[in-house]
Chain A
Amino acid sequence: MREQEPSSTTLIAALSIAGFLSGIIIIAVYLATFDTIAENKARELREAVFRVLPGVTRMQKLRFDGEALVVMPDDAKDDENTIYGGYDDAGRFIGYAIANGGPGFQDTIRVLYGYQPVGRKVVGMWILESRETPGLGDKIYKDAAFVANFDDLAIDPQIVTVKKGTKSAANEIDAITGATISSKAVVRIMNEAHAVWDQRLPSLAPRLKPQQPESEK
């Protein structure tokens, strides 16, 4: 090499400075966009609750505190014991919307599903988060036929994935051809959530708290 070889210290310093500056920029952008992103996610979740529970016009946050479901304020932080109760215009309880996550084919899939304790059935499913393969695994939310599987689905003894076109029982769903792993992941995530929540959920949720600010939609 004709030019003078720079010392290792120089190289390390150059990379450290680059990394440091990059880190600062990323943190700044992360902080600047954090609120908007959180807001978007909360709004998306609210819209998803209305989608997975047909007929629902009002909702409230519920949390299982170890013994019973308690009503939470809307701005309470979500944790794994938080679910949503859906009610109609008259304030009558319709069903629960339960979110759960689990490993998919690529990354964590987060699923929200609507559950009616009275008929013990699932009435809707919505994918909150997924990075499944475009064109194959992403059909878990893009393929209307697959999503429709969950519109009226018995949950007992548990949900079973079967090969596409062979659905015969009320608790079976048709898997997506070419995306069996993703289809099964969705079902497993729902079965796991149901195993946890089945005993916790009373068939009638706590009453809708008065003067619900959630009058939108």
Chain B
Amino acid sequence: MASSKPGSKHSAYEEMIKGLWRDNPVFVQVLGMCPMLAVTNSAINAIAMGLATFFVLVGSSFLVSSLKQWIPRQVRISVYIVIIATFVTVVDYVLLAMVPAIHKELGAFIPLIVANCLILGRQEAFASKHTVKFAVMDAIGMAAGFLLAMFALGSVREILGEGKLFGLSLFGDNFEPWVIMILPPGGFITLGLLLLLFNWVTERKQAFIAQVAEAERSKA
């Protein structure tokens, strides 16, 4: 996990942007796999889960970072969990009141956000050691990266598994849905393929950078 030193030349913008690609919580750090595999059977569920995680992560990063000098080291994990659990409970009630249908779909996975190692991990590794501004930027970036990954998985699985996106039919009646894609094995298969794609792109990018450097060196 790449975490930068405080006060170094990293800008807040960089802290935010790193979660999207370079340190993407799902594709690079492979964190938060439980909701990742469990609720990505449709794009809308994936987005709802991603947004709930977004709110919890940004909220708890903000609080942990603001309160860090008052939290005794010895009980910090317990305090972080209390903070995270509070945000999760708030999300749980708000979703139940505002969008009961989505709450029913996500079911047991909303309370389980408490146990999402991505969230506690960011508190321990980043928010508790950085200023509020950096902690919030980092949380926004990580949560957006998570949301992006959730959406990628959710939309692929919904398109292939039901022939729909956001409930809208894409291919007409002749499309035979790949039912396996919305079942648990489909989650693993899609995640594996996306990881493959992600690593392949990253490798190509590095190879390209190396090639450019090589060319410049030979030119000099």
Contact = CB atoms under 8 A, between A and B. Distances in A.
A6 B74 contact: yes
B75 interface: yes
Interface residues of A, number: 25
Given A44-B100, A134-B107, A25 B90 contact: yes
Contacts of B108: 106, 131, 134
Contacts of A3: 73
Contacts of A135: 183-184
Contact of B75 (A15, A37, A40, A134): A15
Contact of A18 (B79, B90, B100): B79
Contact of B71 (A14, A26, A36, A134): A14
Contacts of B39: 134
Nearest to B84: A22
Given A6-B74, A135-B183, A26 B89 contact: yes
Interface string A126-140: 000001001100100
Contacts of B96: 33, 37, 40
A15 B79 contact: yes
State the 5 A-B residue pairs at the shortest beta-carbon distance, nearest first.
Answer: A33-B97, A36-B97, A22-B86, A33-B93, A18-B82
16 contacts: A3-B73, A11-B72, A15-B78, A18-B78, A18-B82, A18-B83, A22-B82, A25-B90, A26-B89, A26-B90, A29-B93, A40-B96, A40-B97, A106-B108, A134-B39, A138-B107
